[in-house]
């Protein structure tokens, strides 16, 4: 039996869709029936391949470049996308940069760039899209990409975690402000998703090394895949999720559910707490 197209008739902008999670989200939206605008900063070739795939599925698709260090660029991306698709009723704010530095070495310039790219751009793109939806009298869905860094602490990620925590908080507040208008806002907090950046940032990183670490650290025993997040984003922007409002859905294979004090979660513990109080 053919599966129904969950996003048939949707018109979506997916930011940061030249690589990684955003790239797969854009393609998944097209597979699910949506017309899609891709966004890129540098990797135009990858985006062109995605556009061709979307068009081969009968979708209307294009890509626009925008540097999110520039607020003018971000707002122009929203305007171009609205014009190209005749309005947007789905927005996935995926674009973001991962950054680690010891707290005492973070510069004001680095701090500003992180908040501009990871938070300010999506805030004002969303403002443009929401304003257009309200003027058109249309319903819509917005999905913001946060991170488990917003929920758990990792050394040297204070600025990055700050941007992702801001996304969780503003998602919740904006969602309750807009819910009565028919515009839903939710977020996703991905765990470890293996994307191109790992191979660039970590010397000698391999898929095998990542899988070995995952087997020992993640309850589901594997790293996440971009498709795990893409399918969740498609669901949150579909009518199937119409009663989900203001939530940050964690998709991390059990990472944040696992207490860090547990040494080996796959073996029965030799310790017997409560033996003096309970039988057996």
Which one is catalytic: 46, 147, 170, 238? 147
Q: Is 164 a catalytic residue?
A: yes
147 is catalytic: yes
Q: What is the DSSP string of the chain?
A: -PPP-TTTT-EEEETT-SSHHHHHHHHHHHHTT-EEEEEESS-HHHHHHHHHHHHHTT--EEEEE--TT-HHHHHHHHHHHHHHHTS-SEEEE---------GGG--HHHHHHHHIIIIIHHHHHHHHHHHHHHHHT--EEEEEE--GGGTS--TT-HHHHHHHHHHHHHHHHHHHHHGGGTEEEEEEEE--B--HHHHHHSTT--HHHHHHHHHHH-TTSS-B-HHHHHHHHHHHTSGGGTT--S-EEEESTTTTTS-TT-S-TTS--S--TTTTTS--
Sheet holding 61-65, edge to edge: 61-65, 35-40, 11-14, 90-93, 140-145, 183-190, 248-251
Q: Which of 160, 170, 198, 238 is flagged as catalytic? A: 160
- Of 10, 61, 164, 198, which residue is the catalytic one? 164
On whether the CB atoms of residues 47 and 27 are closer than 8 A, the answer is: no
158 tagged catalytic: no
The residues that are catalytic are 147, 160, 164
């Amino acid at each position: 039996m053919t599966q129904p197209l969950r996003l048939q008739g949707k018109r979506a902008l997916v930011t940061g869709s030249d690589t990684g999670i955003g790239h797969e989200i854009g393609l998944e939206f097209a597979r699910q029936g949506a017309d899609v605008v891709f966004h890129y900063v540098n990797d135009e070739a990858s985006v062109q391949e995605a556009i061709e795939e979307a068009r081969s599925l009968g979708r209307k698709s294009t890509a626009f470049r925008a540097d999110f260090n520039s607020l003018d660029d971000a707002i122009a991306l929203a305007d171009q996308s609205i014009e190209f698709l005749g309005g947007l009723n789905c927005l996935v704010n995926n674009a973001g940069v991962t950054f680690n530095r010891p707290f005492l070495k973070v510069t004001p310039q680095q701090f500003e760039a992180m908040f501009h790219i990871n938070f300010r751009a999506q805030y004002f793109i969303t403002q443009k899209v929401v304003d257009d939806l309200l003027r058109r009298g249309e319903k819509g869905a917005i999905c913001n990409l946060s991170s488990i860094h917003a929920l758990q602490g990792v050394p040297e990620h204070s600025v990055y975690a700050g941007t992702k925590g801001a996304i969780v908080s503003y998602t919740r507040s904006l969602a309750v402000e807009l819910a009565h208008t028919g515009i839903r806002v939710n977020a996703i907090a991905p765990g470890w998703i293996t994307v191109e950046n790992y191979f660039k940032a970590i010397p000698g990183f391999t898929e095998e090394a990542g899988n070995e670490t995952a087997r020992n650290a993640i309850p589901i025993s594997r790293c996440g895949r971009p498709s795990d997040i893409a399918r969740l984003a498609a669901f949150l922007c579909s009518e199937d999720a119409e009663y989900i409002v203001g939530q940050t859905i964690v998709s991390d294979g059990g990472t944040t559910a696992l207490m860090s004090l547990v040494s080996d979660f796959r073996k029965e513990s030799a310790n017997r707490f409560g033996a003096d109080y309970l039988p057996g």
